[in-house]
Chains A and B, each alone.
Chain A
Amino acid sequence: MTAFHLGVSTSGHDPALAIVDDNGAVRFAEATERFVQDKRAWGIAPDHVPHLESALAQVGFDAARDTLAVGTSWAGVKAELGKAPQDALLPARDTLWMQGLQGQLHATAGRSLLRLGLADAPPDPMRFDHHLCHAVAAAWFAPVDDAVCIVLDGEGEVGALSVFDMRARRLTRRFRSWGPGSLGTFYGWLTGLCGFDWRKGEEWKVMGLAAFGQVIPELAEVMRGMVAVDRGRLRFADPETLRRATDRCQPHVRRPADPVEAAADLAATGQAVYAALADQVIADCLDGDERLPLILSGGCALNSSHNGTIRDRFALPALHVPPCPADDGNAIGAALLAYMRTKGCDAVPRGDGSPYLGSTVAIRMLDKLRVSARGLAVRDMGDGSARAVADCLVQGRIVGVMRGRAEFGPRALGNRSILAAPQVSGMKDRLNAEVKGREAYRPFAPVVRLADTSAWFECAQPSPYMSVTLPWHASRRDMVPATVHADGTGRLQTVKRDTASWMVDLLDACEDLCGIPVVLNTSFNIMGKPIVHSVEDAVAMLMTSGLDAILVEDMLVEKPGAAA
């Protein structure tokens, strides 16, 4: 008998589920959006029946023998807190909509167990504090016993920020911010002014665009006055001040139909103000001269541009950002907290660092593909698949790779990735225009072997989950142009053999073939869609985009004319 614990992220946006076994190991974690192929999966139950059924099968759950307890990622219902949604920055209608979704998912969490015959009455889930879920999920991935953990979020049970101390892997909350004051809301507001939509998760676009602009000092001062940081706690200025700040931004606002570049200065200014505010929070949370590793989580920890500056500026021994700092990751936090409560232990279990916690590739589809993919070249490359992909890449071809278990979190880390050679002329424009269908300015990320990091980047540090953006050494930039952003940086992934052996093989092979052990790695999706989940998704993208080939496990599928 195994006592499994199911964690569900019940925010209403970015639902996800995670399963922890009775040894405290995260056995499975996956965002609902992957399974249903609907970006952000707004309002969809995180224990969506077929998704949960599939996850349980993959962990070997036996209904006759095993048990499943449920934990949720919120302690309470947001709409019941009696706080009128304030609309000075984001429309109150969106807040009310999201509150409705959260209340609904909070109320029905675990009901899928009825449908699956695993319960005879609605389960009574264990409820956990939202920021504690963020902290526990982040701690699972952090290879340290003692740390300061800052959760910088869009919202929370009482405010949008919590600070925890971790000692011997036991987390204690030092304080939390109460009331309005949220860097996530600030960035959402900025995203809207730049002509993008935070509801679609387009904060990325602002961060990327910032590299093209110049900070406007007087506007930065106005924005800085929107949020006070008091001993690490965040507080918005009064609504009238916030409205005046929005008015002051109007001359720089971009309408969605305007050219993207029109918002570059606004994006640069907002990103700089975000960084200054987040820095102030971090500075307030570091005690004296003692420097412990910093664990950073919450949705704001996706700001890789800022993340890349933290470690050295604060002289930290290390910065740890999990692969899933946003609300999807809270499924892991809720599952681990449920396990810890059941077992009566208060130390957060520690993972092996692998982000590859999602679904495997459905092998039976490979046989089907072999016989039905008429007109495509289908070859099983066996142990030589990394070398075969390297051959394709150095010839300028673009390959979608679907191998092993899917990554958990928003980044493709090699198992559901589109790969290309960064040295190939025009590769960035080709990928943006012909494969991803996105704006020409958007940057692409590089993968390097961990041991090579300092040879290619300044301020070198591990970045196993693409959490930090670092400056390329100036002398290297011309060698890998497709992965060098306008400000000379790259949001790198560092890999080593114990967690990403195939990618290390690929980098070795690329070095062997062309002398450059760097590969461009972008998520295996087209703009607006989640990362591919099924073999059918991958094949559909091959046939409807500029991809030249896909590798499914070790089977290389190439378009006519693309095959060597």
Chain B
Amino acid sequence: MTDTDLRASVMEFVRTQISRHVKLPAERIEPGSDLIGLGLQSIDAVIMCGEVEDRFRVELDPSTIFEHDTVGSFVDDVVLRLADG
């Protein structure tokens, strides 16, 4: 999988997850969307990290999600870890 494909795959998964938690259609969730602005609660953010770990076989730092403001920035971090892994 190329880096571009990988990023697209992670982005699609994260958008779907957020959409499920905040009850918005996935197409309304953009890379530049603000995580808090979307209404993502911290408990949901934590649970989503677990889903990302399970889906992509990567370990995230517990605080990863809280270090990012936007969907895209979080996805970039996950992709970086996958590339390092």
Contacts and interface: CB of A to CB of B under 8 A. Distances in A.
Nearest to B47: A179
B53 interface: yes
Interface in B16-60: 42-43, 46-47, 49-50, 53-54, 59
B42 A178 contact: no
Interface in A121-180: 157-159, 173, 175-180
Given A76-B62, A179-B43, 13 more contacts: A76-B63, A81-B63, A82-B42, A82-B63, A83-B42, A83-B43, A158-B62, A175-B53, A175-B54, A176-B50, A178-B46, A178-B49, A178-B50
A81 B50 contact: no
A103 to B, nearest CB: 14
A276 B34 CA distance: 41
Contact of B62 (A81, A177, A233, A235): A81
11 contacts: A76-B61, A82-B66, A159-B50, A175-B53, A176-B53, A177-B50, A178-B49, A178-B50, A179-B47, A179-B50, A235-B47
A80 interface: yes
A84 interface: yes
A84 B46 CA distance: 12
Most buried by A among B42, B50, B59: B50
Contact of B43 (A81, A158, A176, A180): A180
Nearest to A175: B54
Interface string A67-88: 0000000011000111110000
Interface in A331-390: none
**Would you call the interface of chain A mostly helix, strand, loop, or mixed?**
loop
A175 B47 CA distance: 13
Contacts of A75: 62
Contacts of A83: 42-43, 46
Given A81-B62, A82-B63, A175-B54, A158 B42 contact: no
A173 B59 contact: yes
Interface of B: 42-43, 46-47, 49-50, 53-54, 59, 61-63, 66
A233 B61 CA distance: 18
Nearest to A158: B62
Q: List the 9 closest A-B pairs by CB distance, nearest first.
A: A178-B50, A82-B66, A179-B46, A179-B47, A158-B62, A81-B62, A157-B62, A178-B46, A178-B49
B62 to A, nearest CB: 5
Interface of A: 75-76, 80-84, 157-159, 173, 175-180, 233, 235
A175 B53 CA distance: 8
Contacts of B46: 83, 158, 178-179
A180 B42 CA distance: 11
Given A76-B62, A81-B62, A82-B66, A233 B42 contact: no
Given A158-B46, A178-B47, A179-B43, A80 B53 contact: no
A82 B45 CA distance: 11
A83 B44 CA distance: 11
Nearest to B51: A178
A87 B54 CA distance: 28
Most buried by B among A178, A180, A235: A178
A173 B58 CA distance: 10
A95 to B, nearest CB: 15
Given A82-B42, A83-B42, A83-B46, A178 B53 contact: yes
A84 B62 CA distance: 14
B45 to A, nearest CB: 9
A177 B59 CA distance: 12
A51 B60 CA distance: 36
A176 B49 CA distance: 11
Contacts of A180: 43
A233 B62 CA distance: 16
Contacts of B49: 158, 178
Contacts of A235: 47
Most buried by B among A80, A158, A177: A158
A81 B66 CA distance: 8
A562 B22 CA distance: 74
Contacts of A82: 42, 63, 66
B70 to A, nearest CB: 17
Most buried by A among B42, B43, B59, B66: B43
A81 B53 CA distance: 17
B41 to A, nearest CB: 10
Most buried by A among B47, B49, B54, B62: B62
A81 B50 CA distance: 15
Contacts of A175: 53-54
A176 B60 CA distance: 11
A473 to B, nearest CB: 45
A76 B59 CA distance: 14
A180 B50 CA distance: 12
Contacts of A158: 46, 49-50, 62
A172 to B, nearest CB: 10
Nearest to A238: B43
A26 B59 CA distance: 29
A233 B50 CA distance: 10
Nearest to B60: A158
A80 B49 CA distance: 17
A176 B58 CA distance: 11
Contacts of B53: 175-176, 178
Nearest to B46: A179
A46 B59 CA distance: 28
A77 to B, nearest CB: 10
Contacts of A173: 59
